[in-house]
C-alpha cells in the first residue's frame, strides 16, 4: 500500500527563501487534503544567520538529521556578509553530494500571460527540461593556489568526470526524454576542453544506441546558449554537466519570462536518500523583506516534490492552478509584469486549487 504520511525537512534559508517556502507549504497542505495524504514539516533554521551565530551553515550532524526525512524542501541560502562559496559549500553542496542527488531537474515552460523577453515567442514554444549533473564535473574541491599575493601567483582547479557519474546522468536524461517528446540534446564543449568533454560525447553516443526511440543531437555550449534564445522550440530534454547545466538552467527560465517561477529538483533516483526540492532563484537580497517575491518557483518545486513522492495528479493540480493564475493580471507579481504581493499571488493559486 502507498505511504500517505510524509516527513519533510524544511530549510527556508535566507532572504526571500522564507516567505516563498511558507507559501509553498500552504499550497501543499491544501493539495494534501484533497489527496488524502498528510505532511509533517520539520523546520531547520540553517542559513547565513545560523552561520553568524554558530560559525556553521548547519550543525555537525546536519546530514544525519536530514537523512530520516522523505524529502527536503529548501528556499535559498546565501546573503551578503557570508561569502557565497561558504554558504553553498556549507549546506547545499554537501546535501546534494552526500545524498547522491546527482540528477538536477529544471523544467522550463513559457506560460500564457507571462511576458517573454523574446520577440515572437508564445506559450507552447518553450517547454523543455534541463537535466544537470549535480555531483561532480567542474564543481570540485580539487585544486590549489600557490605563491599567493605575489606576481607568480598560480591557481588551478580540476574537473572530474567519472564513467559512473556521466552514465547515470545520461541514463536519467534518456529515460526522461523517452517519457516526454523523445528528443535529447547534449551540451558539450569537446572542441575546447580536450579530455573530459570528448569523454562525455563518447558516453552519450554509446548510450544513445540503447535508446533508439530517442532522437539525439548535441551542441557546443556557446552556440547552444544562442539556440536557447533563437530557437527555444527545438528542445525537449537538454542534458549537461554541472557547470553547463547550471548556466542553461538560469538561461532557460529567463527566456520563459522570469527566474521567479523556475523550480528545481535534486533527485537521488535510487531513493536511498531524501531528494531535495527548491526554487532555482537565490535569496534576492535586493527585494528581501518587501513582500513582493514571486512564490511560484517554490510552489512549483513543491509540486515536483509531490510527483516524486508518487502523486503526479497533485503535481498536475498545482501546475494547472499556476497556469490559470498567471493568465490574469491580478495574481502576478512584479517580475511577471503584475503588482501582486507574494501573499496575493499564493492566495490566487490556492483559490484555483
Ligand atoms: P537571486 O536569484 O537571488 O536574484 C537575482 C535577481 O532575480 C534579483 O534581482 C532578484 O530580485 C530577482 N529574483 C530572484 N528570485 C525572485 C523571485 N522569486 N521573485 C522576484 N524576483 C526574484 O540571485 P543572486 O542575486 O545572484 O544571489 C543572491 C544570493 O542568493 C547569493 O548569496 C547567492 O549565493 C544566493 N543563491 C542561492 C541559491 C540557492 O540557494 N539555491 C541559488 C542562487 C543564488
Ligand atoms: Mg545556479
Tell me how far apart the alpha carbons of residues 184 and 238 are, in angstroms, rounded to a whole number. 6
Are 7 and 68 in contact by the 8 Å Cβ rule? The answer is yes
Tell me how far apart the alpha carbons of residues 282 and 289 are, in angstroms, rounded to a whole number. 14
Q: Residue 190 Cα, ligand 2 centroid: separation in angstroms?
A: 22
Listed in sequence order, the residues at least 6 apart from 243 whose beta carbon sits closer than 8 Å to its beta carbon are: 137, 138, 139
For residue 24, the cross-strand partners are none
> Which H or E run includes 275?
strand 275-279
Q: Residue 283 Cα, ligand 1 centroid: separation in angstroms?
A: 5
ipTM > 0.95, yes or no: yes
Residue closest to 297 by CA, chosen among 329, 335, 338: 335
Q: Residue 151 Cα, ligand 2 centroid: separation in angstroms?
A: 32
Give the residue, by CA position, lying nearest to ligand 1 atom 25: 284
Q: Which atom from ligand 1 is nearest to the alpha carbon of 297?
A: 18
Q: Ligand 1 within 6 A of 232 CB?
A: no
Model confidence pLDDT, tens digit, residues 34-52? 999 999 999 999 999 899 9
Ligand nearest to the CA of 242: 2
Tell me how far apart the alpha carbons of residues 114 and 121 are, in angstroms, rounded to a whole number. 11
Q: Residue 4 Cα, ligand 2 centroid: separation in angstroms?
A: 33
Structure-model confidence comparison of residues 218 and 120, the more confident one? 218
Task: Say if residue 314's pLDDT is above 70.
Answer: yes
Domains and CATH numbers, the chain: 1-102+262-353 (3.40.718.10), 116-256 (3.40.718.10)
Pocket probe for ligand 1: among 49, 76, 117, 286, the residue whose CB has the most ligand atoms within 8 Å is 76
At 250 the pLDDT is 86
Q: pLDDT band at residue 1, thresholds of 50, 70 and 90?
A: low
Q: Percent of the chain at pLDDT above 90?
A: 90
Q: Residue 35 Cα, ligand 1 centroid: separation in angstroms?
A: 32
Name the pairing type of β-strands 103-109 and 127-133: antiparallel
Q: Ligand 1 within 6 A of 246 CB?
A: no
All three cell numbers of 192: 575546447
Mean pLDDT of 296-316: 97
Q: Per residue in 12-33, is it b (16+ CB within 10 Å) or e — as a string? A: bbbbbbbbbbbbbbbbbebbbe
Q: Ligand 1 within 6 A of 79 CB?
A: yes
Give the residue, by CA position, lying nearest to ligand 1 atom 37: 282
What are the Cα distances from residue 212, in Å, to 111, 168, 172, 205, 208?
31, 18, 15, 11, 7
Instruction: Give the SS3 label for residue 133.
Output: strand
Q: pLDDT band at residue 249, thresholds of 50, 70 and 90?
A: confident
Listed in sequence order, the residues at least 6 apart from 213 whose beta carbon sits closer than 8 Å to its beta carbon are: 178, 182
All three cell numbers of 214: 530517442
Amino acid at each position: 500500500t502507498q505511504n500517505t504520511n510524509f516527513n519533510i525537512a524544511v530549510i527556508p534559508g535566507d532572504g526571500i527563501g522564507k516567505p516563498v517556502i511558507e507559501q509553498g507549504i500552504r499550497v501543499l497542505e491544501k493539495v494534501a487534503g484533497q489527496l488524502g495524504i498528510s505532511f509533517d514539516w520539520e523546520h531547520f533554521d540553517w542559513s547565513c544567520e545560523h552561520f553568524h551565530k554558530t560559525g556553521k551553515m548547519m550543525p555537525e550532524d546536519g546530514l544525519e538529521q536530514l537523512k530520516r526525512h522523505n524529502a527536503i524542501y529548501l528556499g535559498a541560502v546565501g546573503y551578503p556578509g557570508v561569502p557565497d562559496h561558504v554558504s553553498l559549500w556549507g549546506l547545499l553542496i554537501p546535501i546534494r553530494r552526500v545524498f547522491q542527488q546527482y540528477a538536477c531537474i529544471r523544467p522550463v515552460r513559457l506560460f500564457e500571460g507571462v511576458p517573454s523577453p523574446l520577440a515572437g515567442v508564445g506559450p507552447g514554444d518553450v517547454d523543455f527540461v534541463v537535466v544537470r549533473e549535480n555531483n561532480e564535473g567542474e564543481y570540485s574541491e580539487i585544486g590549489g593556489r600557490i605563491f599567493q599575493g605575489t606576481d607568480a601567483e598560480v591557481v588551478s582547479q580540476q574537473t572530474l568526470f567519472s564513467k559512473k557519474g556521466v552514465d547515470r546522468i545520461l541514463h536519467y536524461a534518456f529515460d526522461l526524454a523517452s517519457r516526454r517528446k523523445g528528443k535529447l540534446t547534449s551540451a558539450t564543449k569537446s572542441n575546447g576542453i580536450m579530455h573530459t568533454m570528448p569523454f562525455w560525447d563518447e558516453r552519450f553516443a554509446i548510450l544513445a544506441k540503447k535508446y533508439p526511440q530517442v532522437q539525439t543531437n548535441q551542441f557546443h555550449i556557446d552556440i547552444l546558449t544562442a539556440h536557447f534564445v533563437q530557437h527555444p522550440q527545438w528542445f525537449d530534454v537538454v542534458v549537461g554537466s554541472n557547470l553547463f547545466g547550471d548556466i542553461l538552467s538560469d538561461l532557460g527560465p529567463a527566456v520563459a519570462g522570469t527566474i521567479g517561477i523556475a523550480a528545481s529538483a535534486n533527485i537521488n533516483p535510487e531513493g536511498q536518500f531524501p531528494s531535495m526540492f527548491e526554487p532555482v532563484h537565490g535569496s534576492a537580497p535586493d527585494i528581501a523583506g518587501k513582500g513582493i517575491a514571486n512564490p511560484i518557483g517554490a510552489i512549483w518545486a513543491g509540486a515536483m516534490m509531490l510527483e516524486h513522492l508518487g502523486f503526479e495528479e497533485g503535481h498536475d493540480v498545482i501546475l494547472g492552478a499556476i497556469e490559470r493564475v498567471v493568465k490574469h493580471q491580478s495574481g502576478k507579481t512584479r517580475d511577471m509584469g503584475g503588482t501582486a504581493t507574494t501573499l496575493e499571488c499564493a492566495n490566487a493559486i490556492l483559490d484555483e486549487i
